Amino acid sequence: MVFHPRDPAYRRSLTRRDFLRRSLATGVALPSAAAILAACGPGGPGGGAGTGNTPEVRFGTPDKPVELQLFEDNAAIASELEPEAGPLVIYNWENYTWKQVLKDFGKEFGVEVKYETFYNLEEAVAKIQTGEVTFDVFFPTMDVLPKLVAAKLAQPLNHDYIPNLSNIWPSLQDPFYDLGSRYSVPYTIYHTGFGWRTDLLPLEVEEVAAMSNPYDIFWEHGPVGKTAVYDVPRDALAMAMYHLEGSAADPNTVDPAKIEAAKNALIELDDRVGLEVNIDIAYVQIPEGRMALSQSWSGDMLATPWYAADPAAEAGSFRYYWPARDGFGGVIDNDLYAILKGAKNPVLAHHFLNFMLDNFNAMKNFSWVGYQAPLSALDPADVIANGWPGLEGYFSWEYKGHWDNLLPAVVTDQDLEVATRFHGLPLAEETLWTNAFAEFRAGAS
């Protein structure tokens, strides 16, 4: 290779000894890099709580309700503070709160409200754990809440700011997973049944109710390529359990044999009809006609007329059924509000919770989201049939006439008496469910 005298490579080629000397120096420097890494240790900057001082995660059950622990270094805010200037940041599922209601709150308190979304609860929790978020209000499920509490990521609530708490069903003011509502307030309540459209699956609710086990509808009538279950391990496997064992099934079981049987039932169904496994199956894919029969949370099905291309024509063919009412067993669940420890606007967040627990605002949210808050003053069936004073003109109520066949999707407090509640499981037991579901999700081929 001929180098031009001015080419730096020419000069470089004469200094191989320099190169060797320099690389030796790097070699010396490397061990110190290893020392730095060692100092990071197994806990690491992002790691867990180190050796043995982990606060316990308290999962309550309806038989053994639980008080979530309070920590000294995670105290609630003082009372009678002035609300901050905002903006208030809500971190929620997509399409789970009506923006109109957020705007109303913003107007009342003169603040801006931002709505950040996630589509995966674990991802959301992972982001919260990094500590780099400034979300104010979060919407966990009841099995995530105790973990947030143990990790001191949620702050205790100061009930002085939330007088509307008394609007809630008495049974939910003191829920088994959070006695005294120390950290959470119920957001929505829903049961897990199934929905279908009669133009693609011509069955009426009475016929389904007359079956020996209505959950069999999936295995006996599920159309090929148009049947769906939720992409949620507990919900999907629990439904298979109800199909196999009827009302005796325990959706919180930790018996590996039962979980295995449920998994096999789902796999068998999948082989035959090619199940769609997703989150939007009920409120998007049924109205779009892509699915005929789908597992459905009650709120999802109630929202379907809004998502249909031609609600007037199609909403009449949507149906919902929750087998527990007729004694076949079923699950009720509720989502929660929690205020994150890192919230920049905790006072505003408390006011937001109170605002959303107001009867009118909750009904306004319900009218768009389809998921109802468990409020005593509400008779949702009456509301759906007759409207709610002051809510005329909101577009969901335009579909008043189209909701009659979806009345079963309304949750009443009597439903709580026949339902089984999901409750959170410790990691080892939860892993049984997630492993089984992962095998189901691998597909049979």
Give the footprint of other proteins on residues 311-350 (CB under 8 A): 313-314
Give me the least distance between CB of 251 and other proteins, in Å please.
Answer: 19
Does residue 191 sit in helix, strand or coil?
A: strand
Site residues for other proteins, 90-119, by CB under 8 A, read 91, 93-95, 99, 114-117, 119
Per-residue binding letters, 169-208, with other proteins (x by CB under 8 A): ------------------------------xx--------
CB 407 within 8 A of CB 313: no
Q: What is 213-238 written as a DSSP string?
A: STTHHHHHHPPTT-EEEES-HHHHHH
Give me the least distance between CB of 215 and other proteins, in Å please.
Answer: 20
Enumerate the H helices of 84-232 as residue ranges: 99-109, 121-129, 145-150, 170-173, 205-209, 216-221
Which of these segments, 37-45, 319-327, 373-381, 415-423, binds other proteins (CB under 8 A)? 37-45
Q: What is 248-298 written as a DSSP string?
A: G--TT---HHHHHHHHHHHHHHHHHH--EEESSIIIIITTTTS-SEEEEEH
Q: Please identify which residue in 154, 239, 281, 301 interacts with other proteins, judged by CB under 8 A.
A: 281
Give me the least distance between CB of 319 and other proteins, in Å please.
Answer: 16
Which of these segments, 165-173, 174-182, 222-230, 403-411, binds other proteins (CB under 8 A)? 222-230
Q: Please identify which residue in 4, 27, 32, 78 interacts with other proteins, judged by CB under 8 A.
A: 4
* CA 261 – CA 276 distance, rounded (Å): 20
* CA 23 – CA 93 distance, rounded (Å): 53
CB-nearer residue toward other proteins: 150 or 373: 150
Q: Please identify which residue in 84, 178, 235, 276 interacts with other proteins, judged by CB under 8 A.
A: 276
Q: Tell whether residue 25 is a contact of other proteins (CB under 8 A).
A: no
Q: Please identify which residue in 109, 176, 215, 283 interacts with other proteins, judged by CB under 8 A.
A: 283
CB 116 within 8 A of CB 89: yes
Q: Tell whether residue 414 is a contact of other proteins (CB under 8 A).
A: no
Q: What is 320-387 written as a DSSP string?
A: EE-GGGGTS--EEEEEEEEEETT-S-HHHHHHHHHHHTSHHHHHHHHHHH-PBP-BTT--HHHHHHH-
Q: How many residues bind other proteins (CB under 8 A)?
A: 89
Give 4's DSSP letter. Answer: P
Q: Please identify which residue in 18, 54, 75, 392 interacts with other proteins, judged by CB under 8 A.
A: 54
Which of these segments, 9-17, 162-170, 183-191, 325-333, binds other proteins (CB under 8 A)? 9-17
Q: Please identify which residue in 224, 248, 257, 377 interacts with other proteins, judged by CB under 8 A.
A: 224
Q: Tell whether residue 9 is a contact of other proteins (CB under 8 A).
A: yes
